Amino acid sequence: MDQNPSCSKADRKTIEKNRRNQMKSLYSQLSSLLPHQNSREVVSLPDQLGEATNYIKSLQIDLEKMNQKKDRLTGLGNCSSSTMGELKLPHVEIHVSGSAVEVALITGLDCQFMFSEIIRMFHEEGAEVINASFSIQDDTIFHTIHSKVFLKLLMNSLLKIRFE
């Protein structure tokens, strides 16, 4: 019976030694994943754990910022597709009668910038916007722009719209 307690004591020592070695290895791996400010300076274990915690928190904040930026950027990209995944491109119709031009623009809720771009283009080309209106039905916006342009300006504007 004396042999049994000494064997279990030796086993416990071996198990504890293996556990300490494994923990040392894990702490070393954790330390290698952290960005090092001063590699010559020996940092205590509690300080290493604090650095790891702070580093993980800063990575989480960076990830949140990147996700928000991605959402903003994909929100602009959603102009060409609806929420159900089907292709929903903006639709533009131009009707010319003498110097009067009527532009009908049909977009989704996420493509409202196109309306202001057309107004901006008319102003840049020297056209006079007489009336602009819109109506919303479900997730579609119907814009109508009435303007007065000179023939030369009209041709330049139409060419720009077609080739952009």
Position 93 pLDDT exceeds 60? yes
Strand order in the sheet with 91-97: 91-97, 100-108, 140-148, 128-137
Cβ atoms of residues 90 and 113 within 8 Å: no
Q: What percent of the chain has pLDDT over 90?
A: 18
Pairing assessment for the beta strands 128-137 and 100-108 based on DSSP bridges: unpaired
* pLDDT-based confidence at residue 77 (cuts at 50, 70, 90): low
Query: Any idea which architecture 3-78 has in CATH?
Result: Irregular (4.10)
Q: Which of 9-13, 39-43, 118-122, 136-140 has the highest mean pLDDT?
A: 9-13
d(CA 105, CA 112): 10
Question: For the chain, what are the domain ranges?
Answer: 3-78, 91-163
Q: Which residue, among 150, 117, 115, 147, has the nearest Cα to 129 in the 3D structure?
A: 147
pTM: 0.41
Position 81 pLDDT exceeds 50? no
Query: Any idea which architecture 91-163 has in CATH?
Result: 2-Layer Sandwich (3.30)
Q: Which residue, among 137, 146, 91, has the nearest Cα to 114 in the 3D structure?
A: 91
Q: Do domains 3-78 and 91-163 have the same CATH topology?
A: no
